[in-house]
Amino acid sequence: MLTVNKFIADGKKVDYIFGDLTDIPISESACGELWEFMITILNSSFKILKPNGKFMTHGNGATSPESLELYEQELAKLKPPVKYTKSKAFVPSFLEDWYFYHISFATTDNGDA
């Protein structure tokens, strides 16, 4: 987070961010330390993302649809608004289908996004 916070302070923007710090927490609600950490990462990342940039991340396994839904609810709360696509692929080392997200600003007129 030191680099991200420095970029925020310096007004630097990037084209792409790949969030590979943690999986989407498997829980009944979007609360607790892991969710707070993930939400902090999302909010900070979009402060340094260029208007046409993309935030890419892995979600979790297809066997945890409730957690994926909670994550998507958190995405819907981001300001400025974002849009996303998700894809599913079999990950041999996990022995299951896994979801991946591409997230970008809903509009490209977010000059200070």
**33: part of which helix (H) or strand (E)?**
helix 33-47
Catalytically annotated residue among 10, 15, 20, 109:
20
Task: Decide if 23 is catalytic.
Answer: no
Cβ atoms of 19 and 10 within 8 Å: the answer is no
Question: Which among 106, 100, 110 has a CA at the least distance from the CA of 57?
Answer: 100
SS3 (DSSP) at 50: strand
Residues 6+ apart with CB under 8 A from 14: 7, 48, 49, 50, 53
CA angle 38, 20, 73 (to 5 degrees): 40
Could you list the active site residues? 20
